[in-house]
Structure 1
Amino acid sequence: MTSLVPVPLIGKATLPVLFSDEVLQRFLDAAAIEYAFITPEEPRPCFAVLLGTFADDALIVSDLAFGRNARVTDPSAREEFATTIVPKFGSAYENSVRAWWLDPADLLGITREADARGLDVLGSVHLHPDWHRLGPECERGRPLSERPTPMDAYVFRSAGWPLNVVCYLERQHGEFYYSLAAWNGDCESLPLRVGMVTA
């Protein structure tokens, strides 16, 4: 969640997303590090801002930027969770590690740097781990996936960004596996294509 004015969605709401394979790998590497520290008490989120360009026929993701989670340090974040999010989405969100609130100072810095490089802030990407396996017993019947949760849908609409990517990551048989999906600010699915490495 952020405190910036939303990017207008007009004309961008259904464009396909062209996602750099290098950028995706950078996010997956960061997500795998956070995943390694997940415990039943600590979901360990991973979140990044997606940067790129608005083309006439696509949203082109060419970079990303990580920022700090201000979930427990920003007064606006604490109030939003206490008065809206926990009552609406449940006591699981009382856990101060669950969910992400991008530090407004970091977002401002990311936006300024992107602007200096001729890039646009397109939206965000965040991790959904196999919390139904890693989390507490009460989570066993609620598997996550690359689909938005009700809380995600609330955040997507509140942020107003035209692109919101959810990355589901799980560990099976000693290997990581992931799935990826893109959503607009109204929580509608967007076509997502990941670039391929060429020799």
Structure 2
Amino acid sequence: MTTERIIEVSEKSAVLFSQSALESFLAAAETEYACITETNPVPCFAVLLGAAAEGDWLVHDVAFGRNARTTDPTARQEFATTIVPRFGTAYENPVRAWWLDPADLLRIGREADRRGLDILGSVHMHPDWHRLGPPEAHAHPLDELPTDMDRHMFRGSGWPVNVVCYVERRHGAHGYALSAWDGNCDRLALRVHRLAPADVLPGPGDADG
């Protein structure tokens, strides 16, 4: 007898991820992915910039910052007192997981304000660590679903949109899968939006006829 896990997707909101923003993140993720070794699970993390519209979340761009996982006192305390005891010694690895540098978050927020955008949340990479990592990782495959530690961080961040991007390399090419979650860890519908030629606004020198 088998049991099937049922994941409820909210009918109220969807995350509409622009193709250009997704491609920016995937380019960064593939670069970091190439650096992963058995002892170095290099992360990739970005902030989602966009706007709310009629109940949906429109992701227009992504912004990157530094990982303060080992330098920020609050981060060090959180990992030492909560993350490692609760989610396991794997998180003792100083390059596992991400803590956005507060100075970079401030910079990103100011730049978003200048552009008329809001910080909606974050996106981070899950690599196929069960293939790339040490033998003890083989029995615990990652995918596009959040880990228990991810859920803890989603709830703590207060951000309304949290995207997980699973990246793997098989048969000579990268593949990826995405999922989106709100601050309560309920799943959100996620769609990648690509502007059609008719959706592109004419430039100053363009004219009809």
**Cα offsets for 1:134-168 (capped at 9, x unmatched):** 00100101100110000000000000100000000
Q: What is the Cα deviation at residue 196 of structure 1? A: 2.6
Aligned amino acid, residue 88 of structure 2: G
Q: Using CA pairs below 8 Å that are at least 6 residues apart, which structure has the higher relative contact order? A: 1
Task: Note if contact 1:13-1:185 (Cα within 8 Å) is conserved in structure 2.
Answer: no
The number of residues matched between the two structures is 188
Counterpart position of 1:22 = 20
Q: Which has the higher strand share?
A: 2
| 1:192 maps to 2:183 | no
Counterpart position of 1:73 = 71
Counterpart position of 1:166 = 164
| Partners of 2:73 and 2:158 in 1: CA distance | 21
SS in 2 for 1:102: coil
| 1:98 maps to 2:113 | no
Task: Note if contact 2:12-2:55 (Cα within 8 Å) is conserved in structure 1.
Answer: no
| Partners of 1:135 and 1:45 in 2: CA distance | 13
Q: Which ranges of structure 1 fall in alignment gaps of 5 or more residues?
A: 1-11
Task: Note if contact 1:15-1:191 (Cα within 8 Å) is conserved in structure 2.
Answer: yes
| Partners of 2:86 and 2:17 in 1: CA distance | 33
**Cα offsets for 1:95-123 (capped at 9, x unmatched):** 00000000001001101110111101000
| Partners of 2:15 and 2:91 in 1: CA distance | 30
Q: 1:71 to 1:168 in 2, by over 3 A?
A: same
Q: Which runs of 4+ in 1 moved over 6 A?
A: none
Task: Note if contact 1:14-1:184 (Cα within 8 Å) is conserved in structure 2.
Answer: no
Counterpart position of 1:3 = none
Aligned amino acid, residue 55 of structure 2: D
Task: Note if contact 1:163-1:184 (Cα within 8 Å) is conserved in structure 2.
Answer: yes
Q: What is the Cα deviation at residue 14 of structure 1? A: 4.4
Aligned amino acid, residue 138 of structure 2: R
Q: What is the Cα deviation at residue 197 of structure 1? A: 5.3
Matches within 5 A, 1:140-155: 140-155=138-153
**Cα offsets for 1:159-184 (capped at 9, x unmatched):** 01000000000000000000001000
SS in 1 for 2:191: strand
| Partners of 1:80 and 1:13 in 2: CA distance | 34
Counterpart position of 1:128 = 126
| Partners of 2:11 and 2:35 in 1: CA distance | 35
Aligned amino acid, residue 86 of structure 2: K
% same residue: 63
Q: CA RMSD in A?
A: 1.3
Task: Note if contact 1:123-1:164 (Cα within 8 Å) is conserved in structure 2.
Answer: yes
Structure having the higher Rg: 2
Counterpart position of 1:119 = 117
| Partners of 2:183 and 2:143 in 1: CA distance | 18
Q: What is the Cα deviation at residue 57 of structure 1? A: 3.0
Task: Note if contact 1:167-1:178 (Cα within 8 Å) is conserved in structure 2.
Answer: yes
Counterpart position of 2:59 = 61
Counterpart position of 1:178 = 176
Q: Which ranges of structure 2 fall in alignment gaps of 5 or more residues?
A: 1-9, 198-209
TM-score norm. by structure 2 comes to 0.88
